[in-house]
Amino acid sequence: MARPFAGRDKFRVFYHGTCIIFAGALGLALAGCYQTTGDFGRPQPGVWENSILPAAGYISATARGEPISLYALTEDEKELRNRAWNFLNPEADAPIVARIQDQFTYYQLLPPRESDITLFHRTIMGGPQLSGAVGYSPTLRVLTGGQSFVSLTSRYNRVRDVITADHALIPHFKLVASQVVQADHVRARSLGHVAHLTEEQRDQAIKRICENALIIARVHWAFHDRAAQYRYSLEHLLVEGPEREAIPAERTLMAFEADIGRFRKDTIFPTVCTEPVALPAPLSPRPLVRKG
């Protein structure tokens, strides 16, 4: 199933050309301004985060046809966006290109990048710090001097700890997402009953409903991406060096996958969006190695 607004054909040249150059240049310009010391790991609020990036994101999203509204955010909608930050951005020590792309996607300056199943493994193994097109290469990892860990045991433990941290955040996101969706169902029903509603007001309300749905859907896809990246990492660690720590890490991953699957089944968006927001298929947990 296609990801929601993940780059339509008519915007493909724009995305792969101008946007990448723009993202790289502006990302370097912002590198000194970003401080990820705020709540939920987000940058501290400032003129870039509160004004410039949202304004640029509105223009870019509108040009791509993504839903984005000028209505003020409710407290739950603010919380939704704060909670989404952790799942829509990679590890703090991930390759810089991926981090810039994901941060720009968060502000809707760019559509989502293509999924890179090797990203997390390359991050924890120390490289190669290259694009997903190269993928994971032990040879390049060593030649580029990225290998900084002492033992593979520490890598298994890091995967387990990161999954545990992500899993602990899922209930909080599920709760606020449910509250936002419930409020949007109320908002959608009210559109046919509120008197003196202008076309602009109706349009902005529908855009906000669809914007919220898009954020929730992208977090769903991010859950699946992370589960796939964690599975890739554990499977390749198993090939590189089987350790007893693989067992608790595998159990942690399967619990994470099971919770993701339940969340997917419970999500029902309002039907007022002109373009339905796609969700991934429900995820079922499975062991690292299947016999037979």
Kindly report, residue by residue over 109-165, the tens digit of the pLDDT: 999 988 899 999 988 988 767 655 566 788 887 777 767 778 999 999 999 999 999
- Residue 134, classed as helix, strand or coil, is coil
- In degrees, to the nearest 5, what angle opens at C-alpha 85 toward C-alphas 136 and 225? 35
> Cα–Cα distance between 181 and 134 in angstroms, integer?
39
> In this structure, what are the phi and psi dihedrals at residue 45, rounded to the nearest 5 degrees?
-55, 135
Select from 33, 55, 32, 56 the least CA-distant residue to 44: 33
pLDDT for residue 189 is more than 90:
yes
Q: What is the Cα–Cα distance from 119 to 52, expressed in whole angstroms?
A: 29
Burial code (b: 16+ CB inside 10 Å, e: under 16) for 239-274 equals: eeeebebbeebbebbbebbebbbebbeebebbebbe
Examine the pLDDT at 84 and tell me if it is beyond 50.
Answer: yes
* Stretch among 68-72, 95-99, 177-181 having the lowest mean pLDDT: 95-99
Closest CA to 56 of 68, 42, 45, 44: 68
Position 275 in a domain:
no
Mean pLDDT calculated for residue range 207-232:
95
Residue 17 CB coordination number (10 Å): 10
Secondary structure of residue 98 in the 3-state scheme: helix
Q: Is residue 277 part of a domain?
A: no
* 24 is a domain residue: yes
Q: Which domain holds residue 117?
A: 9-265
Total domains, the chain: 1
Highest mean pLDDT among 45-49, 89-93, 180-184: 180-184
Q: Is residue 1 part of a domain?
A: no
Q: What is the DSSP letter of 247?
A: H
Domain-located, residue 69: yes
- Please state, in angstroms and rounded to a whole number, the distance separating the CA atoms of residues 165 and 92: 14
Q: What is the mean pLDDT of the chain?
A: 83
Q: Looking at residue 289, what is its pLDDT? A: 72
Is 173 part of a structural domain of the chain? yes
The pTM of this model reads: 0.84
Q: How confident is the model at residue 196 (pLDDT cuts 50, 70, 90)?
A: very high
Please compute the mean of the pLDDT values over residues 237-265 and round it to a whole number.
91
Tell me: pLDDT of 8 over 80: no
- Of 32, 41, 47, the C-alpha closest to 85 is 41
Does a structural domain hold residue 169?
Answer: yes
Query: Is residue 2 included in any domain, yes or no?
Result: no
Taking phi first (over 0 means left), then psi (-120 to 50 degrees means alpha), and beta for anything else, what does residue 34 get? beta
Mean pLDDT of the region 234-240: 95
Q: What is the pLDDT, as a whole number, of residue 18?
A: 44
pLDDT of 242 above 80: yes
